[in-house]
A and B are shown apart, each in its own frame.
Chain A
Amino acid sequence: METNFSLQSFLVEQYKNNQKTIKEGDSSKLAQMRDKAFEAFAENGFPDKSMDNWRSTDLTKALSHDYKILLQAPPYNPVDSYFKCNIKDFDTFMFTFLNGWYVHKNVPLTVFPDGIIVGSLAHAKKEYPEIVDKYLGTIAKDNNNPMLNLNGAFMQDGAFVYVPEGVQISKPLQIVNIVNTKEDLLIQNRNLIIVEKNAALKLVHCDDSVTTTDTFINSVSEIYVGQNAEVSYYKLENKDSQSLLINSLYVKQENDSRFLSNGITFNSGVTRNTITVNIDGSNCDADVNGLYLVDKQQKVDNYVRINHNKPHSRSSQLYKGIMDDQASGSFTGYVYVEKDAQKTEAYQTNNNIALTDEASVGANPFLEIYADDVKCSHGATIGQLDNEALFYMRQRGICERNSRMLLMYAFAMEVVNKIDIEALHKQTDDMVSRRLRGELSICDMCELHCGDHTELHFEIDMSKI
């Protein structure tokens, strides 16, 4: 029945018929950007597997699927009635989006006493057009990402975060995207995070579903890291097998700034994470990390690109994956060093463990270097668990299954240990061990169901097995 349906034509129609609704509140600059993005989408459509950077992301099934889009915010629905984040001791400022729209009680934007603004982009573009116009669409620029065109045409709401010069947020900010619907939705958030000079922000971004309908999320985030500013960005993904999740993160770094990101994929349907960091300043640090633990038919595709556009900056990428059953996981990492970006240091590591012969692993490191005085390295490994270590552990009485689990846990912890928020670190540690034991499933209210153990186990606890 759906076979003749074309998502692309459907979306083109939708845009043409609903332009007014979609553009509601746009500045003229934004409206123009939108039209340009739409034209590009109408002409080029979705990425396909013939494109170099999209070889590992299979969208085929979605392209003939009849998704709904919500062009208007749904009525207010108190979020506590269906969602509660219960990570122990995790004290954050939490902001929630439901089916792509900011959930608020007539408070679309919260202004903190120190000037931090957090809330809905749909409102920020009206209330703070000078800020939004200055940054929106200037960080997320990419000719190789057709999903950006689609998002650029349809984006309406998303998180808006503004941290003014010199302000350091006192506790982490947590953005939770919840999908709770009986319909198959296509959701296209745009998040705009601006951290000005000498400011600091820790941001935790969770993608949750409360239902298991077929959802398609095409989310774009733009992060501006001002001079000597510091941003840590954490992304937790635990999606059900029907979901299609495409995240595109674009970061711009000014002089002396620091950016850390850590993305953890516990479960996925089809997930694609794109991260592009433009180091547009000197003396910057960019530390981009990821961990993906997939099994069954799950697919995850990570694509990281770091552009060293200025001299004297450092970047490192550490991505680790464990693939079980017929799952597939891939990492494509680019380091690009501009001619003038001398004294660049860039390191890239990708380690994979394939637990079965049917699991598929992609490791594609690329270095593109035009400067001559740089230190760059990359290494990719695809391996199995260390047999010598397994034998040693079993000789001490540990069964094979648990020996394997201890090794996998150790492998994963290198990434988890880079999380610099203690409560989140402990929680992620715990979730990784539960995931490896096969206990972290996807059926609770919040599919991450982070807090369903009252007591946390930071070690593999045999009484639990």
Chain B
Amino acid sequence: MLLEIKDLHASINGKEILKGLNLKVNRGEVHAIMGPNGTGKSTLASIIAGRDIYDISKGEIYYKDKELLDMAIEDRAREGIFIGFQYPVEIPGVSMTNFMRTAVNEIRQYRGEEPLSAAEFLAMMEDRKKLLELHSKLTNRSVNEGFSGGEKKRNEIFQMAMLNPELAILDETDSGLDIDALRVVANGVNKLRRPDNATVVITHYQRLLDYIVPDFVHILYEGKIVKTGPKELALELEEKGYDWVKNEIAK
């Protein structure tokens, strides 16, 4: 198993957000997490990434059979965890090239591999851009600085392609994308799929799941996964809305 979350309880500023969340992700799988605003989807991604602003009162997370909560943020990344953020941060003055080269080489160093030379690195960037059919010059600019909402999301996928993660969690990467960009991003994600990696997409829209076809759809509601089903669950949810879920739980 790649990721296993058991009975996770997490709060921030005394307010409990995750209230006993369970989730299992195997290699080769695609999972979709859906759920109303403010139910803790981004919180979950943040905790997996290693943000230390949460108080985790209960529960465990295993990643590749190791205790994830004990690992440093960068080590989680080096072990293959990638978060496509809902709101990617702007870093003025740090060039995309410099940023990615540092990241790629630190990960290589962690794995005991030689750093890439400038030329090798640039070739890799070109290759990844081609794979994703990105023709933009975003890589010549500072990280996310002045990027439009959609450009930021595309940049997240580009970084994912550069870092080649084992577990990618994409938090609303589809929101803010135009129809063409959505297809580009989804194709990118599909091209990066391998039997040994897994993707978790957090989304509000069934539309994305036409492109990235999930093996499982989870509904996260008030801090818990309340329902899990096949990809058709997303369609049902879109049709019936969250009230339906509420009623289901009440039953």
- Chain A interface residues (CB < 8 Å from chain B): 386, 388-389, 391-400, 402, 406-407, 409-411, 413-414, 459-460, 462-463
The answer to whether B107 touches A397, judged by C-beta atoms less than 8 angstroms apart, is yes
Q: Interface residues of B toward A: which range? A: 35 or more
Name 14 A/B residue pairs within 8 A (Cβ), A-sorted. A391-B89, A393-B94, A393-B103, A394-B50, A394-B73, A395-B76, A397-B78, A397-B106, A397-B163, A398-B102, A398-B103, A400-B72, A409-B94, A410-B94
Nearest Cβ in chain A — how far from B163, in angstroms? Answer: 7
The answer to whether A389 touches B106, judged by C-beta atoms less than 8 angstroms apart, is no
Nearest Cβ in chain B — how far from A393, in angstroms? Answer: 7
List B156-214 residues whose CB lies under 8 Å from chain A: 159, 163
Residues of A within 8 A of B115 (CB): 462-463
Residues of A within 8 A of B95 (CB): 459
Tell which of A388, A397, A400, A407 touches B94, judged by Cβ atoms closer than 8 Å: A407
Residues of A within 8 A of B103 (CB): 393, 396-398
List B104-128 residues whose CB lies under 8 Å from chain A: 104-107, 109-110, 115, 118
Tell which of B77, B82, B98, B105 touches A394, judged by Cβ atoms closer than 8 Å: B77
Residues of B within 8 A of A392 (CB): 85, 88-89, 91, 143
Looking at chain A's contact residues, the main secondary structure is helix
List B60-82 residues whose CB lies under 8 Å from chain A: 72-74, 76-78, 82
Residues of A within 8 A of B99 (CB): 393, 396, 398, 406
Across the interface, name the chain A residue whose C-beta is closest to B46.
A391
The answer to whether B98 touches A395, judged by C-beta atoms less than 8 angstroms apart, is no
The answer to whether B77 touches A391, judged by C-beta atoms less than 8 angstroms apart, is no
CA gap between A397 and B78 in the complex, in Å? 5
Residues of B within 8 A of A410 (CB): 91-94, 142
The answer to whether B50 touches A395, judged by C-beta atoms less than 8 angstroms apart, is yes
Residues of A within 8 A of B78 (CB): 397
- Chain B interface residues (CB < 8 Å from chain A): 49-51, 72-74, 76-78, 82-83, 85, 88-89, 91-95, 97-107, 109-110, 115, 118, 142-143, 159, 163
* Number of CB contacts from chain A to chain B under 8 A: 93
Nearest Cβ in chain B — how far from A299, in angstroms? Answer: 26
Across the interface, name the chain A residue whose C-beta is closest to B88.
A392
Tell which of A393, A397, A459 touches B91, judged by Cβ atoms closer than 8 Å: A393
The answer to whether B94 touches A459, judged by C-beta atoms less than 8 angstroms apart, is no
5 tightest A-B contacts by CB? A410-B93, A462-B105, A397-B77, A394-B73, A396-B103
CA gap between A465 and B107 in the complex, in Å? 14
CA gap between A398 and B115 in the complex, in Å? 14
Nearest Cβ in chain B — how far from A288, in angstroms? Answer: 21
With A410-B93, A411-B93, A462-B106 known as contacts, the answer to whether A400 contacts B88 (CB < 8 A) is: no
The answer to whether B106 touches A399, judged by C-beta atoms less than 8 angstroms apart, is yes
The answer to whether A389 touches B89, judged by C-beta atoms less than 8 angstroms apart, is yes
The answer to whether A462 touches B77, judged by C-beta atoms less than 8 angstroms apart, is no
With A397-B163, A398-B106, A414-B93 known as contacts, the answer to whether A459 contacts B98 (CB < 8 A) is: yes
The answer to whether A395 touches B73, judged by C-beta atoms less than 8 angstroms apart, is yes
CA gap between A291 and B95 in the complex, in Å? 20
Tell which of B51, B110, B118, B163 touches A396, judged by Cβ atoms closer than 8 Å: B163
CA gap between A399 and B72 in the complex, in Å? 9
